[in-house]
Amino acid sequence: MKKFQLASRAVSKDITSRLTTISPSKVTAALIMSGAFPLLSFAETPTVSDVNVSAILDGYYQSEDRLMAERSKGFGIGETELAISANIDDMFYGKLTTVFESHDGESEVNVEEAFIQTMALPNGFSVRAGRFLSDIGYLNNQHLHTDSFTSRPSAYRAFLGNHYFDDGLRVSYIAPTDLYWTMGAEAFSGDSLRAEDETGEREFDSTGVYTLFTKIGGDIGVESSWQFGLSYLRNENGLLTAEDHDEHDEHDEEHEEHDEHGHSHSAAYTGKNTFVADFVYKWAPNGNYKYQHLTLSAEYFRVSDFMVPELDEDHLDDDHLEEEHHEEGSGNDYHQAWYVSGVYQFSPNWSAGLRYGKLDTQLLHEEHFDKQTLKETEFSVAWHNSHFSTVRVEFSHQSNTGFENADNDNVITLQYVMALGAHNAHQF
């Protein structure tokens, strides 16, 4: 099983088979065993029957609001997807994913993916262009419906707007090594990761975000496998600008509204440099992942260089302000967050997960930064009637200081996730 998992990571996560007459399980197995793009390049002239159409239905009920989370109190739909994908010809593959969401009784339609990708470049290289999910971190390149919890960790909600997709270009490379080893670079417009423009007169770089990433993994016997990743994101538009005091009240009001409602695809906290380290370990008895398996994962985020230069210099020049700044616990020029997660599927139909995470951020307030801390503990139990249907109940506890709404400590969420049509193989 583990060799299949490692081989599957060497294939583009989004490429599906043209052979629609074969069952989805056989198609997935064939892709996993293929292990390389060139084997897919035998495609003939595409026809309508070659196009894969799929839908993901995501509905929920949530007892309370959560900080910076996309799901809001009450009934709603999560990221319900409609996706179309196909080989364009023997050189290119394309995919379009639209997402339907509801928030506070209002519906939204967003284009989450609209990209083309090469299929036959030599020597392990591939290029993707258009709108797509960035490959930084462990969870970001995965669609939300594949998660084992109803919401992304606070690190993703605070620093990546829940999950970061953007318009841009990616070049990636798979090394010809015994261990799985991939690396790549991306360039994006970066609109959703821009720092707030308090004056409305700031000029942003049109290409604002650049990323580098590498991931390496391997097997431990026949029952276990692991993967370790490092990522770096450079945000040219991530530095805060000085606020006008006349506009400060309005700015606070907008931030309070953002905290209260929590829905935004933009990052709540930005900086010039973001560093991410991630690790995942998977185990299954005798390598049989279908009936029983354990997944342990962890990620650490550090977002640095976000302070307003003028304020930073003022603090350094004034001993009293500097002392006050450090007493508040906000003297460091970075945000950080981390989480650890364990998910155990103890039978083909039942799984349980436990996740704990902590977020430390700083909020600009007049001429100093206020410290904010959010701790979250989440316990999830899911019933899987099949690989295509999941019903989940989750209990979460959030403890925070420094945020506007600190009242909703305990949250219960009921969720269903159903897949219709062609279904891509899940990533490692």
Counted domains in the chain: 1
Residue 189 placed within a domain: yes
Confidence of residue 403 (pLDDT cuts 50, 70, 90): confident
Residue 203 placed within a domain: yes
What's the longest Cα–Cα distance across the chain?
74
Residue 82 placed within a domain: no
Q: What is the mean pLDDT of residues 98-127?
A: 89
Asked whether residue 326 carries a pLDDT value surpassing 70, the answer given is no
Residue 27 placed within a domain: no
Mean pLDDT of the chain: 81
Least confident of 120-134, 367-381, 400-414: 400-414
Neighbours of 150 (CB within 10 A): 26
Residue 269 placed within a domain: yes
Distance separating alpha carbons of residues 167 and 190, to the nearest angstrom: 8
pLDDT value of position 139: 96
Asked whether residue 42 carries a pLDDT value surpassing 70, the answer given is no
Q: How far is CA 415 from the centre of its chain?
A: 19
pLDDT tens for 115-173 read 999 999 999 999 999 999 999 999 999 999 999 999 999 999 999 999 999 999 999 99
Positive/negative CA dihedral, 397, 402, 407, 413 = negative
Distance separating alpha carbons of residues 70 and 61, to the nearest angstrom: 13
Asked whether residue 261 carries a pLDDT value surpassing 70, the answer given is no
Residue 412 placed within a domain: yes
Distances (CA, A) of 361 to 76, 213, 268, 370, 402: 29, 24, 10, 8, 9
Asked whether residue 328 carries a pLDDT value surpassing 80, the answer given is no
Encoded tokens for 125:
């290289």
pLDDT tens for 170-210 read 999 999 999 999 999 999 999 999 888 766 777 888 899 99
pLDDT value of position 408: 64
Residue 51 placed within a domain: no
Q: What is the mean pLDDT of residues 233-256?
A: 62
- Which of 81-95, 303-317, 323-337 is modeled with the greatest confidence? 81-95
What residue has token string 């991630």? Answer: 278
Asked whether residue 257 carries a pLDDT value surpassing 50, the answer given is no
pLDDT tens for 85-99 read 999 999 999 999 999
User: Considering the entire predicted model, what is its pTM?
Assistant: 0.81
Distance separating alpha carbons of residues 303 and 275, to the nearest angstrom: 7
Q: Regarding predicted confidence, which is higher, 357 or 20?
A: 357
Residue 56 placed within a domain: no
pLDDT value of position 48: 55
Instruction: Specify whether the CB–CB gap between 202 and 275 falls below 8 A.
Output: no
Asked whether residue 102 carries a pLDDT value surpassing 70, the answer given is yes
Segments of 267-333 assigned E as strands = 273-283, 293-304
Segments of 176-332 assigned E as strands = 180-188, 209-220, 224-235, 273-283, 293-304
Domain extent at residue 348:
106-416
Asked whether residue 232 carries a pLDDT value surpassing 60, the answer given is yes
Asked whether residue 33 carries a pLDDT value surpassing 50, the answer given is no
CATH number at residue 336: 2.40.160
